[in-house]
């Protein structure tokens, strides 16, 4: 009876079901791993973004680990290098497509940092930035690099549109020296009266849908296992009934 369920066709079925169950269990644990990562990110974001505002020269040095200070609130005084504005394209905010405005900022102690001024909608031209001294308040952000399938930046040195905040590449293109980080602006003093660029909002402090997805994958795996057991038992019962001798009255 058992041998009937170990034919090549049934072996393929068993292996297919087991592989499917293993895949769904893997996806469930992967979602739980993503949940842990999200919780860790939220904890760092909350701790860093609520820490006291620091002068950028006090926390940024040549050997600092940028990841350890990302999302820290900093302030820096100086002026915008308005002749070196670039854009980071393919951005979106509040359902609108557009680009972010990135501009070098020369501090009073002669250091240069790139400032993400904020988001502009696609139909909007580049903003006019003030040239007078001011103080910028923002968050430290780490440089970004291209992934395996990420869009490729133009090799044309005249192009000032970039796919991501790849600070070493942008700095090289602009001919400036800066740390591999940028400042995501939240405010400036004196405050601008212009509505645009719109400040880029902080990520939401939520855990997303990872837990619900993990529960779904576990449920699907359990359903597949139960269905497999039911089918096997039914087949075994059919084999037993077929092989049992029939009794007729004399």
What is the rounded CA–CA span in Å between residue 136 and residue 27? 44
> Rounded to 5 degrees, what are φ and ψ at 81?
-90, 80
Whether residue 143 is found in the same domain as residue 183: yes
Chain centroid to Cα 12, Å, comes to 39
| Domain of 216, in residue numbers | 2-41+210-243
Whether residue 127 is found in the same domain as residue 78: yes
pLDDT at position 250, please? 46
Domain count, the chain: 2
Tokens of 247: 């009794």
* pLDDT over threshold 90, residue 201: no
Q: What is the pLDDT of residues 50-104, one digit of tens each?
A: 999 999 988 988 788 888 899 999 999 999 999 999 999 999 998 899 999 999 9
Residues 6+ apart with CB under 8 A from 48: 69, 70, 71, 72, 73
Tokens of 143: 């440089």
DSSP characters for 53-109?
Answer: PEEHHHH--TT--HHHHTT-EEEEEEEE-GGG-EEEEEEEETTEEEEEEEEEEEETT
49 is a domain residue: no
Q: Identify which of 138, 136, 102 has the alpha carbon closest to the alpha carbon of residue 119.
A: 102
Q: What is the pTM of this model?
A: 0.78
52 is a domain residue: no
Q: Which residues pair with 100 in a beta bridge?
A: 88, 119
Whether residue 144 is found in the same domain as residue 96: yes
In this structure, are strands 73-80 and 112-121 parallel, antiparallel, or unpaired?
unpaired
- The length of the chain, given as a count of residues: 250
Q: What is the pLDDT of residues 90-128, one digit of tens each?
A: 999 988 999 999 999 999 999 999 999 999 999 899 988
Whether residue 177 is found in the same domain as residue 125: yes
Share of the chain above pLDDT 90, in %: 60
Average pLDDT of the residues of the chain: 88
202 is a domain residue: no
Whether residue 26 is found in the same domain as residue 127: no
197 is a domain residue: no
The answer to whether the beta carbons of residues 55 and 74 sit under 8 Å apart is yes
Q: What is the pLDDT of residues 6-40, one digit of tens each?
A: 677 778 888 899 999 999 999 999 999 999 999 99
């Amino acid at each position: 009876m058992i041998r009937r369920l170990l034919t090549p066709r049934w072996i393929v079925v068993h292996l297919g079901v087991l592989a499917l169950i293993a895949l769904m269990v893997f996806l469930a644990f992967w979602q739980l791993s993503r949940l842990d990562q999200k919780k860790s990110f939220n904890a760092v974001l909350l701790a860093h973004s609520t820490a006291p505002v620091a002068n950028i020269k006090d926390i940024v040095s040549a050997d600092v680990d940028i990841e350890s200070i990302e999302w820290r609130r900093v302030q820096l005084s100086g002026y915008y290098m308005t002749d070196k504005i670039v854009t980071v394209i393919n951005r979106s905010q509040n359902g609108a497509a557009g680009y972010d405005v990135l501009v070098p900022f020369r501090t009073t102690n002669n250091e240069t940092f790139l400032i993400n001024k904020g988001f502009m909608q696609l139909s909007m031209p580049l903003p006019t930035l003030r040239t007078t001294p001011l103080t910028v308040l923002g968050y430290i952000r780490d440089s970004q690099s291209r992934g395996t399938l990420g869009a490729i930046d133009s090799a044309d040195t005249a192009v000032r549109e970039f796919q991501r905040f790849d600070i070493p590449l942008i700095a090289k293109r602009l001919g400036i020296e800066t740390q591999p980080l940028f400042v995501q602006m939240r405010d400036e003093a004196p405050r601008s009266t212009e509505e645009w660029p719109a400040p880029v909002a902080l990520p939401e402090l939520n855990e997303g849908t990872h837990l619900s997805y993990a529960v779904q994958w576990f449920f699907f795996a359990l359903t597949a296992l139960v269905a497999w057991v039911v089918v096997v038992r039914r087949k075994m019962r059919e084999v037993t009934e077929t092989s049992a001798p029939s009794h007729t009255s004399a």
